[in-house]
């Protein structure tokens, strides 16, 4: 994977199936979607489980630039966690989540 530009956000709120992130200028609400079952009998996480795994996150959450609003068929995005700083660069681990929508607006 090549270099990516990320915006780091604090977790402002975790709901039953969504999270709200903020950088004190912009709020980003990500609503999760249920994934379709995969072949092989493995059950994917529900939208509620995806949101719940972000409860209690202490580190900032990274999103790839640009962060744009979207509503439509569910799609997969990377949410970056587990950051480390090395030689002026942020190294971060992407985790894939299935989302139904992303809302972007000014921080209140």
Express each pLDDT in 32-57 by its tens digit: 999 887 777 778 899 999 999 999 88
Cα–Cα distances in angstroms (integers) from residue 65 to residues 39, 80, 103, in the given order: 32, 12, 14
**Mean pLDDT across 27-33:** 97
Cis bond upstream, residue 66 (ω within 30): yes
- Tokens coding 85: 């700083």
Q: Where are the domains of the chain?
A: 6-106
CA 15, CA 37: separation in Å to the nearest integer? Answer: 23
**Mean pLDDT across 7-12:** 92
Nearest CA to 54 among 30, 76, 71? Answer: 30
Nearest CA to 54 among 74, 84, 80, 28? Answer: 80
Is residue 83 very low, low, confident or very high in pLDDT (cuts 50, 70, 90)?
A: low
Q: Provide CB contacts within 8 A for 82, sequence distance 6+.
A: 59, 92, 93
Q: Provide CB contacts within 8 A for 81, sequence distance 6+.
A: 57, 59, 61, 62, 92, 93, 95
- Contact call for residues 82 and 10 (beta carbons, < 8 A): no
Percent of the chain with pLDDT over 90: 62
């Amino acid at each position: 994977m090549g270099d990516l530009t990320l915006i780091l956000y604090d977790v402002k709120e975790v709901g039953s199936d969504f999270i709200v992130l903020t950088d004190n200028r912009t709020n980003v609400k990500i609503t999760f979607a249920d994934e379709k079952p995969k072949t092989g009998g493995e059950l994917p996480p529900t939208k509620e489980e995806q949101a719940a795994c972000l409860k209690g996150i202490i580190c900032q959450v990274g999103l790839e630039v640009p962060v744009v609003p979207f509503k439509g068929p569910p799609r997969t995005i990377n949410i970056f966690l587990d950051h480390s700083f090395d030689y002026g660069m942020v190294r971060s681990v992407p985790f894939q989540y299935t989302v139904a929508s992303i809302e972007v607006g000014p921080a209140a």
